[in-house]
Amino acid sequence: MYGDDVIPRPSGAPRKSKRQRSSASSSATFGSSKNRVTEFFQEQIQFDREAKIESLDRELAARLAVVELQKRNEDLKILTFDTTGMNPDDAAKIEALKEKTRATYFNF
């Protein structure tokens, strides 16, 4: 099958057997390489996790800011109510809410 086409081995040291090739030094090198790869992936996972947490924190802060603005707008809407011609008791309650809102948002 391989006959004359086989490339002759160079003279000198004979080829190492499988047993000699899988020596302790090569497996130690492989092991340390494996440890480095494992450490790299663990660090990468940690960086990805931290980036995701920071992203979620920014998103949460933005959502809270929107909710706070919506709440403030709702609170300030009371100032637009016109109490002219209303029942005096209802008008007094609305005016009290207006004063409370002014004190909360405009009391510098």
Task: Classify the C-alpha dihedral 46-47-48-49 as positive or negative.
Answer: positive
Q: What is the structure's pLDDT at 86?
A: 93
Structural domain contains residue 1:
no
User: Residue 104: which of 82, 81, 84, 78 has the closest Cα?
Assistant: 78
Structural domain contains residue 37:
yes
Confidence band for 12, pLDDT divided at 50, 70 and 90: confident
Confidence band for 32, pLDDT divided at 50, 70 and 90: confident
Structural domain contains residue 34:
yes
Structural domain contains residue 14:
no
Structural domain contains residue 76:
yes
Distance separating alpha carbons of residues 39 and 66, to the nearest angstrom: 41
Per-residue pLDDT for 101 more than 60? yes
Q: In which domain, by residue range, is 38 found? A: 25-106
Structural domain contains residue 13:
no
C-alpha dihedral, 21 to 27 to 28 to 31, nearest 10°: 160
Structural domain contains residue 99:
yes
Local structure of residue 11 (DSSP, 8 states): S
pTM of the full predicted structure?
0.51
Per-residue pLDDT for 26 more than 80? no
Percent above pLDDT 70 for the chain = 72
Distance separating alpha carbons of residues 96 and 22, to the nearest angstrom: 88
Task: Classify the C-alpha dihedral 14-18-22-26 as positive or negative.
Answer: positive
State in Å, rounded, how far the first CA of the chain is from the last one: 98
Number of domains in the chain: 1
Mean pLDDT of the chain: 85
Structural domain contains residue 10:
no
